[in-house]
Structure 1
Amino acid sequence: MPIFRTHDDVELWYERTGTGPPLVVLPGGPGSDLRYLADLGGLDRDRQLILLDARAVGRSALPADRSTVAFTEQARDVEALRRHLGLARLDLLAHSAGCLTAQEYAARHPDRVRRSVLVCPVGRAEREPDPAELAELHASRSAEPWYPDAAAAERELAQGPAPAEVAGVQARLLPFFWYAWHERLRAEYDPAYATALPWFREAFYAGSATGPTRSARLARLAAARTALLVLAGAGDGMVGTAPARAVAALHPRARLAVLERSGHRPWVEQPAEFRALVNDFLAG
């Protein structure tokens, strides 16, 4: 079985798919099962993808200590996976919230990361999404038939719906997360792939520092001179492009690419362009 044990003896699940040089992949969410990534738009034709279910997610075990799901702590799991695979250095790709874990790992082990790809990174550690950018993105969709319901859901979410209603309200916001919404895209969201643990999100982001501690952490990230590709979707109404631009500006060896016809999952909307960008970058 594709399982390994971490420093604190937690069993984590991973999968291999495709052929070619290995590429370790960290899903987002936070708390999303690796299966939502599928083959990353056919990237498995060029790379052997090694996809990791984070602790307490998917088929990985639940740790006794909830604090260990913080992204700063999960960097230790990436190192345990590297050792398990017997790799001297990693190529690393992360999506959304997983980008925080990837950056933390590169900051701790800069000599063990060859190249890193961050896809639609979230905020928390560098810069939060820009409310003005998101408002403009959402308003630009006002002529689309689904817009009135999505806009109403956005207002309801801001007012704080009852806990039992949150998932339903959030589902109505899905069209904002895509450059072009088609009903078939609902199949991209399997409820079973999202964490059901109500405490997971808060525990994951507990590694987000503030004040002087935040400044020290950002300086440590900037000092990690790993070659970095940051990808953003121009139509990403979930986080916008501001966090990606902030990450690229922070890292001295970063390259930023904005896919003009993509939202938060560019490997679905522009698979050929996504593959080309990633492959060209990893080839050096």
Structure 2
Amino acid sequence: MDVPSDVPDLVAARTGEPAVAAALAALEAGPDLDGDEAFTAWRLRTAALGYARWDATAREHARGMRYSLAAARAFMSGETPADLHRRLAAVDAPTLVVAGAQDASAGVAPVLAVAGLFARGESVAIEGSGHFPWVEQPGAFRAAVDAFLSRVVPPG
């Protein structure tokens, strides 16, 4: 996306939070690439950036995640197809892109901009949420998805 990242501003808004400071230190140190368990442990050390609040709900959710080092390497090493914008613009299906308004891992602006790539794209930012709005704000997430579906799915 040609949209400037808002991650620095989102991180700055959380300056002073010990969990965020620890996550940034782990991010700066870089990933542990000694296998899936080590990589998962590093991701857990950086996880606070993906949540609006590093509370019990966020910690429990993060502890349940597992990461494949091979999958991460494949994902990060792939080249974006030169015609990706054209391909997404050709998608005629209604598309909803949901962002957490406090997602300091991916940012908000670039995520919301993705909706503009689809012919019938819509976007919504869920307040009080990071990268996992269905975990942190399940009611607001459900309301956003239900509203979208009520507009695009014929009744009956």
TM-score calculated relative to the size of structure 2: 0.79
CA distance in 1, matches of 2:62, 2:3: 22
- Where does residue 238 of structure 1 map in the other structure? 105
CA distance in 1, matches of 2:8, 2:51: 15
Q: 1:139 to 1:228 in 2, by over 3 A?
A: same
- Where does residue 106 of structure 1 map in the other structure? none
DSSP-derived class of the 1:279 partner: helix
**Residue 253 (str. 1) matches residue 125 (str. 2):** no
- Where does residue 24 of structure 2 map in the other structure? 151
Q: Greater helix percent: which structure?
A: 2
Q: 1:217 to 1:202 in 2, by over 3 A?
A: same
Instruction: Report matched runs for 1:4-23 at 5 Å.
Output: none
DSSP-derived class of the 1:163 partner: coil
Deviations 1:128-184 (A, max 9, x none): 885x52122112111223233222112212xx6563654333212111111111144
Instruction: Report matched runs for 1:46-125 at 5 Å.
Output: none
**5+ residue gaps in structure 1?**
1-126
- Where does residue 181 of structure 1 map in the other structure? 54
Q: 1:220 to 1:145 in 2, by over 3 A?
A: closer
CA distance in 2, matches of 1:147, 1:206: 27
Deviations 1:225-272 (A, max 9, x none): 111111111111111113322311111211111112111110122111
Deviation at 1:208, TM superposition (A): 4.2
Q: 1:241 to 1:200 in 2, by over 3 A?
A: same
CA distance in 2, matches of 1:217, 1:150: 32
DSSP-derived class of the 2:97 partner: strand
- The number of residues matched between the two structures is 149
TM-score calculated relative to the size of structure 1: 0.46
- Where does residue 40 of structure 2 map in the other structure? 167
Amino acid at match of 2:147: D
CA distance in 2, matches of 1:264, 1:221: 22
Structure (1 or 2) with the larger CA radius of gyration:
1
DSSP-derived class of the 2:6 partner: helix
Contact 1:129 1:241 in 2 (8 A): no
CA distance in 1, matches of 2:66, 2:41: 13
CA distance in 2, matches of 1:264, 1:200: 19
DSSP-derived class of the 2:107 partner: coil
**Residue 221 (str. 1) matches residue 88 (str. 2):** yes
Contact 1:176 1:236 in 2 (8 A): yes
Amino acid at match of 1:168: A
**5+ residue gaps in structure 2?**
152-156
- Where does residue 141 of structure 1 map in the other structure? 14
RMSD: 2.6
Q: 1:200 to 1:224 in 2, by over 3 A?
A: same
Q: Greater strand percent: which structure?
A: 1
Contact 2:44 2:63 in 1 (8 A): no
CA distance in 2, matches of 1:257, 1:271: 14
Contact 1:129 1:240 in 2 (8 A): no
